[in-house]
Amino acid sequence: MPTPYDRTTRRTFLDRLARATGALVLAPISSACAARAAEPSKPGDPRAVPRERPAGWDPIEFNRARGNAGAIPASYLPSINGPDGDAKHLGKHLPYIPNFERARFPAGAIALMWGDSSKGYAAHPNAAPSQANPEGHWFNWIRIRKAVAGDAEERESRFSAWPHPRPGDNGAYRASRGDAPGADSGKDTIYIAELPSDVRPGDLVRIHAHCITHGEYVDFLVVPS
């Protein structure tokens, strides 16, 4: 559970988020801990997530293998293994850092989007639950950890609804164009996620996130200045 220090730093983050958005942000009322201990090493486990970025890291092949081992729903496996699997399905779920004004989100956070078009990946859409898709389609949690071999804090940001967070969420949304994250089928949605307290600009971090429709994805990014 959060220590007094965790609660203080989280309150600071939420206060800054409220000032940046001009909106009230409620502190989470949850038994889940936003500051997570590093997961134990699981040698040989096909679903294990590396703490450091491996030499020759290939996020497409890693996430395909891990997805086939159970991290991605069975119904989506024909898509990730098909001829368009790399760009339209796996690449679509990989995080990248958009060109986004730093002043529009608080210190101690990072802006993320999914599906970098500069790499030829399809942009990830987002959708609220509907009759056609009762679950909806968005990333409901993002876990960030400094990419080091030893123990490190892992910070989880929660997004229990889209396009607006709910009371208790510690994640937030912005729009890459205008003010509505729901524009262009949700493809303009920017996720604002908390960084662990030990992460500084220039650090390599591991991003481990969950799309409620298509499962878990992992990649590594450098925190911008």
The CATH number linked to 195 is: 2.60.40.730
Residue recorded with tokens 């699981």: 42
Residue of 71, 102, 63, 119 whose CA lies nearest to 190: 102
Beta strands (DSSP E) in the chain are 35-36, 95-96, 109-114, 139-146, 154-158, 172-175, 189-194, 204-211, 215-222
CA 39 to chain centre: 17
Whether 61 is in a domain gets the answer: yes
Domain count, the chain: 1
Whether 86 is in a domain gets the answer: yes
Q: What is the pLDDT of residues 41-82, one digit of tens each?
A: 466 899 999 999 999 999 999 999 999 999 999 999 999 999
Reduced to 3 states (helix: H, G, I; strand: E, B; else coil), residue 85 is helix
CA 164 to CA 167: how far, in whole Å?
10
- The pLDDT, as a whole number, for residue 102 is 75
Whether 43 is in a domain gets the answer: no
pTM reported for the whole predicted model: 0.83
The arithmetic mean of pLDDT across residues 191-220, rounded, is 97
H/E stretch holding 112: strand 109-114
23 has pLDDT over 60: no
Q: Environment class of residue 132 by beta-carbon count within 10 Å: exposed (0-12), middle (13-18) or buried (19+)?
A: exposed
Whether 42 is in a domain gets the answer: no
Q: Which two tokens stand for residue 107?
A: 């210190």
Is the N-terminal amide bond of 201 cis, ω within 30° of 0?
A: no
CA distances, 100 to each of 84, 125, 208 (Å):
29, 18, 21
Q: Which two tokens stand for residue 115?
A: 């599906």
Q: What is the pLDDT of residues 154-173, one digit of tens each?
A: 999 999 999 999 999 999 99
Q: What is the pLDDT of residues 168-199, one digit of tens each?
A: 999 999 998 878 898 999 999 999 999 999 99
Mean pLDDT of the chain: 86
Whether 46 is in a domain gets the answer: no
Domain that holds residue 165: 4-37+56-222
149 has pLDDT over 90: yes
- The pLDDT, as a whole number, for residue 32 is 38
Whether 202 is in a domain gets the answer: yes
Whether 47 is in a domain gets the answer: no
CA 7 to CA 161: how far, in whole Å?
23
CA 36 to CA 47: how far, in whole Å?
19
Q: Which two tokens stand for residue 67?
A: 């997805």
CA dihedral 138, 143, 144, 149 (to 10 degrees): -140
Measured in degrees and rounded to the nearest 5, phi and psi for residue 170 equal: -110, 5
CA 118 to CA 2: how far, in whole Å?
39
- The pLDDT, as a whole number, for residue 35 is 59
Whether 100 is in a domain gets the answer: yes
